Structure 1
Amino acid sequence: MVIKKIKHRESSPVAGLKDFHPKIQSILSARGINDVAELDYRLANLISPTQLLNIEFAAEKIFESIQRQDSILIVGDFDCDGATSSAVMIKALRSLGAKKVNYLVPDRFAFGYGLSVKLVEHAATLEPDLMITVDNGIANIDGVARANDLNIPVIITDHHLAGDELPDALAIVNPNQPRDSFSSKHLAGVGVAFYTMLVLRNLMRQKGWFQQNDIEEPNLAALLDIVALGTVADVVVLDNNNRILVEQGLKRIRSGHACPGIQAILQVAKRDINKCQASDLGFAVGPRLNAAGRLDDMSIGIECLLANSIEQALPIASRLDNLNRSRREIEGDMLEQAKLDLESYFSQADNEFKDEKRPLSMCLFDPNWHQGVIGILASRVKDRLNRPTIVFARDDDSEQPIIKGSARSVKGVHIRDALALIDSHNPKLIEKFGGHAMAAGLSIKQKDFQVFAERLNWAVEKILAGNSISDEVLTDGHLDNELFSLSFAAQLKQLGPWGQGFPEPTFDNVFKVANCRLLGEAHLKLVLVKDEVAVDAIYFRCPENQQAQVGDTVVAVYKMDINEFRGETNLQLMIEQLEIIDEG
């Protein structure tokens, strides 16, 4: 594992935050917060849905379908954002009076991602009058064209980046499509779905739909727990608008008003519902839902979110938990093989990857790897090398030897732009691709793997334009002794939700290791001492080159946490990096 150089975020106390401790002022100002009003996460402060291009037209068309009681088919995706988007759309439409609402999620292994031609032809057998995509569709030009051939109108709700050509859909709602003026470009798919339903409800209210049909107007805010889950799990930037959505959803969860499915998953994950944080959604609930799409069928996850009672949800949540355990085992086996491949590549058994030995990017492929877990493996290798990484697995359902890749990137390298650059110079090399700045997916011919790996290195070099990928970790500086306290840790938690683009505060200090032991094979439990102040710490998945010993002096990069165990509450540092200082 690369030891990253520590760099402190630039910040300073500001007048608009004068009621906070100076350290908290610095933390917030480093994240662009300069006034306490920017921490006001009331729903009234959400960006108006009408800023979204085509959203009112899309709502009109959906309303017309509901008036006719058409058969509406929601077409989702096989990740957590897709599952939550599907659940939000289904729950909302049913509460608004739609009686014929069904959903379809593509089988990752049979249909691939999005509204493919094969999926449309399968969907046609369900005889829908209208198809609405959630968290997909913006890249599915051929799929929408096939739907048009079959006289099935398609409304796309998506958030992924649009290509040069847009599908010929009835309507497209996507903050990242050309000419859209929505002032936040970071909505997750579930956020777009929620916004669309808000506009639909407003239209129905104006038309007198609820009174005419003796329907109680639904409170769509009741769906915010699901919106929060999808937003956090999809690792979109938590700008102010997304923080409002997430915080409002977390408040519902903590107050006991989460849907039975989320309550059940938190229960099987042994997380305290009353103290639920964004990290619980990201590291406990999201992975269990994602496990269904990775290893089995995401409809399992959607059915959990649609469950009407905790009794109905718990067996499904237990099944998701078992799938997640299987996913971890598969991931562990794949990671071990990847480590062997990397050690062979670098010819260096101590795993110290020097700058001169690291390429600008890394591509890995093994014919035995599981297609559903390559994204997680790509993330692990990316963290290990601090390089853009694409991991490939076989697509056994393709007629010719095709491999599917999942990409994860680092700061400074927009991975979708890299794929687009390769595609523009080598039009036949990539079969298809799509994604974001930090994550993407693609398919290539197996025989082209080596050529593609070389072209990826070339594309990354072009994007960097002479700059280097920085081996740095940003922190909020040192903590003084008096801030190693439960009260300060609690204040930090209350300032959330923390997440992508609004990172949880991270600090660095020099400590002496007073005690340490390995938990299992990879987790390091420590007691660290600074100026006679002792504090517990834990380092999950501690790399071998960072496994400190009693008596060592270390520079620790860490986050603050409150650990509750057997009725006791203690401060605990969550270690992210340990650099052992040679004092000889």
Structure 2
Amino acid sequence: PLVALGTVADVVRLDANNRRLVAQGLRRIRAGAMPPGVAALFRAAGRRPEVATTFDFGFALGPRINAAGRLADMTLGIECLLTDDPGRADELARLLDGINRERRDIEGGMRDQAIRLAESLFGMQQAVEGQDKAQAGMPAAISVFDPEFHEGVVGIVASRLKDRHHRPVFVFAASGAEGKSHELKGSGRSIPGFHLRDALDLVAKRHPGVLLRFGGHAMAAGCTIARDQFPVFERALAQVAAEWLDAATLTRRLETDGPIDREYLRVELVDTLHREVWGQGFAPPTFSDEVEVVSQRLVGEKHLSLKLRLAGQPVDGIWFGQTEPLPPRVRLAFRLDADEWQGVRRLRLMVEGAELPR
């Protein structure tokens, strides 16, 4: 169970051997054979271990363990996983759950501010999904900083911005108490085709002294800069990205398995898919097809709830993080999921993207 949790939560590639290890961990957890801390984390997250999935590892248990290292003391998560005392495990899991709620609150505020900074700095309104953002005034790389940003959450916010704008992104926070440090610590996330660590190396060569420390790999990196050097770094990274990236690389693409036959649009297929092992390098099936948008509304102020007609069949959909309305007919990329209302489980589409007319 610990190997399975660590493999998925740390986004390790699911090659043949890793996928076998995760499958064995899931089998044990579903049978109730797991450390007390893992069981306690399932309870704290409101998830059911008897139907555990890799989604639980990546989006329920993993964030609660990681939150301690971001905002408090990372040894809390370690102790939760190692303890043999069920009572202590429950206590620690509840504590980690509370820290994770605080992390989400901080992240939400930072994310919204980072989005505003990214879009105001470059004189653009939020680009419609599918629009050529290079033509909308957005540079090839984004760097943002705010004195109120929390150092422990910059990586998560950078990842959210990267997903939103399909650009390499660095988010900086002041290193030290109350944002008064003369140094900034930044965390970056990249897109395929842009090696982030190599880009930092080139910035360091072109602008000696700007980067005090840096390291990382192709898709994620970190660096420390002097606070007054942020404008220099911002321009330098954007320049490297403009040289290395073309319009095709800066266009977000989703690989899909194409349309799904109507006979498979049922909850039983969702259950079959959930029992399998998905993750980095072994993605779950994503389908795409043209749908009719019957109705749509915002829920929670930031998610689009949809009533759709797919292959002549009515079906619900949800697009998390999407606020722009869709046209009456549109091609969607989606995964299959199910939700439950008043004891009845129904098929639901988890929308991943849309191909909109230009």
TM-score (norm 2): 0.90
d(CA) in 2 for partners of 1:245, 1:282: 16
Q: CA 1:419–1:325 in structure 2 vs 1: closer, same or farther (change >3 Å)?
A: same
Q: CA 1:467–1:485 in structure 2 vs 1: closer, same or farther (change >3 Å)?
A: closer
The residue that corresponds to 1:200 in the other structure is none
d(CA) in 1 for partners of 2:336, 2:238: 37
Tell me the secondary structure at the aligned position of residue 475 of structure 1. coil
Shift of the alpha carbon at 1:514? 2.7
**Number of aligned residue pairs:** 353
Matching residue within 190, 201, 204 for 1:423? 204
Equivalent residue letter for 1:230: G
d(CA) in 1 for partners of 2:301, 2:146: 25
Q: Deviations over 1:295-344 (max 9, x none)?
A: 11111111111121332211211111111111111111112212221231
Q: Deviations over 1:26-70 (max 9, x none)?
A: xxxxxxxxxxxxxxxxxxxxxxxxxxxxxxxxxxxxxxxxxxxxx
1:573 matched to 2:349:
yes
Alignment map for 1:297-316 (pairs within 5 Å): 297-316=73-92
Q: CA 1:458–1:346 in structure 2 vs 1: closer, same or farther (change >3 Å)?
A: closer
Matching residue within 240, 248, 263 for 2:24? 248
The residue that corresponds to 1:222 in the other structure is none
d(CA) in 2 for partners of 1:332, 1:304: 26
Q: CA 1:392–1:350 in structure 2 vs 1: closer, same or farther (change >3 Å)?
A: closer
1:374 matched to 2:154:
yes
Equivalent residue letter for 1:477: G
1:260 matched to 2:36:
yes
Q: CA 1:421–1:244 in structure 2 vs 1: closer, same or farther (change >3 Å)?
A: farther
Aligned 8 A contact 2:212 2:225 in 1: yes
Q: Deviations over 1:478-499 (max 9, x none)?
A: 11212212233333334x3211
1:491 matched to 2:276:
no
The residue that corresponds to 2:235 in the other structure is 454
Q: Deviations over 1:408-439 (max 9, x none)?
A: 11111121222233334445332222223211
Which moves more between the two structures, 344-353 or 498-507? 344-353
1:355 matched to 2:134:
yes
d(CA) in 1 for partners of 2:237, 2:292: 43
The residue that corresponds to 2:287 in the other structure is 507
d(CA) in 1 for partners of 2:30, 2:208: 50
1:482 matched to 2:263:
yes
Q: Deviations over 1:212-236 (max 9, x none)?
A: xxxxxxxxxxxxx112212211222
1:280 matched to 2:93:
no
Aligned 8 A contact 1:412 1:469 in 2: no
The residue that corresponds to 1:441 in the other structure is 222
Equivalent residue letter for 1:368: E
Aligned 8 A contact 2:32 2:50 in 1: yes
Q: CA 1:529–1:400 in structure 2 vs 1: closer, same or farther (change >3 Å)?
A: closer
Shift of the alpha carbon at 1:404? 0.4
Shift of the alpha carbon at 1:374? 0.8
1:471 matched to 2:252:
yes
Matching residue within 336, 347, 353 for 1:560? 336
The residue that corresponds to 1:333 in the other structure is 109
Aligned 8 A contact 2:29 2:50 in 1: yes
Listed as ranges, the gaps of 5+ residues in structure 1 are 1-224
Which moves more between the two structures, 285-294 or 415-424? 415-424
Q: CA 1:349–1:426 in structure 2 vs 1: closer, same or farther (change >3 Å)?
A: closer
1:411 matched to 2:192:
yes
Tell me the secondary structure at the aligned position of residue 376 of structure 1. helix
Alignment map for 1:86-165 (pairs within 5 Å): none
Equivalent residue letter for 1:347: G
Matching residue within 96, 99, 122 for 1:320? 96
Equivalent residue letter for 1:358: M
Equivalent residue letter for 2:254: V
1:238 matched to 2:14:
yes
d(CA) in 2 for partners of 1:424, 1:227: 40
Q: CA 1:499–1:388 in structure 2 vs 1: closer, same or farther (change >3 Å)?
A: same
Q: CA 1:394–1:578 in structure 2 vs 1: closer, same or farther (change >3 Å)?
A: same
Shift of the alpha carbon at 1:368? 1.2
The residue that corresponds to 1:517 in the other structure is 297
Aligned 8 A contact 2:67 2:99 in 1: yes
Equivalent residue letter for 1:481: R
TM-score (norm 1): 0.57
d(CA) in 1 for partners of 2:96, 2:19: 27
Q: CA 1:459–1:281 in structure 2 vs 1: closer, same or farther (change >3 Å)?
A: same
Equivalent residue letter for 1:497: V
Instruction: Indicate the structure (1 or 2) with the bigger Cα radius of gyration.
Output: 1
Equivalent residue letter for 1:274: E
The residue that corresponds to 2:311 in the other structure is 531
Aligned 8 A contact 1:406 1:439 in 2: yes
Shift of the alpha carbon at 1:448? 1.5
Equivalent residue letter for 1:355: A
Aligned 8 A contact 1:370 1:393 in 2: yes
Q: Deviations over 1:246-286 (max 9, x none)?
A: 22221221111121111111111111111111111101111
d(CA) in 2 for partners of 1:465, 1:305: 45
